Chains A and B, each alone.
Chain A
Amino acid sequence: MEEYQNGNEGSFNSEEAENVVKECIENIVGAEDYSQTQVNKWTAGIVERCLTQLVKQGKPYKYIVTCAVMQKTGAGLHTANSCYWDTTMDGSCTVRWENRTMYCVVSVFAVAVV
């Protein structure tokens, strides 16, 4: 029990980050239909907003936020990521979101600053 809690204290809280990301996505594309002219603005807005909210938490981390928005037309999409870092302190979280016309996949990577 103790060991588990100790591990958590210094490491990345992915649940918290997930909530931040979900809120940002809802805020920016929640009610929208896929639009080629707007999608550029949306992806930029989502990553910037997530980043701002994460940095506000004031934790000693460097962050990388990526976002992919894809129109729903039946195409297959697969994403993968691999990280070479300190597994005790660094972490990531990925959120998959969709509405009627598009998919949105956001990943947050947090790397501890020593």
Chain B
Amino acid sequence: MDEYQTEEETAFIVEDVSKVIKESVEVAIGGSTYQHSRVNQWSTSVVEQCLSQLSKMGKPFKYIVTCIIMQKNGAGLQTASACFWDNSTDGSCAVRWENKSMYCIVSVFGLAI
């Protein structure tokens, strides 16, 4: 019982992180329409919001949060990532969000300390 709890506290839980990301994106750009002049501020606020919520979780991880916001106009976008880390302790989570005028892709990578 004791060991299980310790693992929970120190493991990268994709579901929890995914929830944090979705919430952060909604809060930052939920009802907005793509605006070139504001997108800088939005992407910064999405990553900062995610990072602060993640560090609040108090787990022994270093985090990297990336955010891509793209205007919907028919362009094709493809993203990929590769990681060289410790498979047993590190993890990642990517969330794709969209509204009528833009796409937002957020990735979180968590590396155990």
B40 within 8 A of A: yes
Give the shortest distance, in Å, between A114 (CB) and chain B (any CB): 8
Beyond A77-B70, A78-B68, whether A70 also contacts B55 by CB under 8 A is: no
Q: Are A74 and B73 in contact (CB under 8 A)?
A: yes
Interface residues of B (CB under 8 A from A): 34, 36, 39-40, 42-44, 46-48, 50-51, 54-55, 62-86, 90, 92, 107, 109, 111, 113
- List 4 tightest A-B contacts by C-beta distance, closest first: A43-B80, A80-B43, A82-B47, A47-B82
Give the shortest distance, in Å, between B12 (CB) and chain A (any CB): 13
Beyond A75-B73, A79-B43, whether A66 also contacts B81 by CB under 8 A is: yes
The winner among B66, B69, B83, B86 for most chain A CB atoms within 10 A is B66
Q: Are B77 and A84 in contact (CB under 8 A)?
A: no
Give the shortest distance, in Å, between A46 (CB) and chain B (any CB): 7
Instruction: Tell me the complex Cα distance, A82–B49, Å.
Output: 10
A43 / chain B contacts, CB cutoff of 8 Å: 78-80
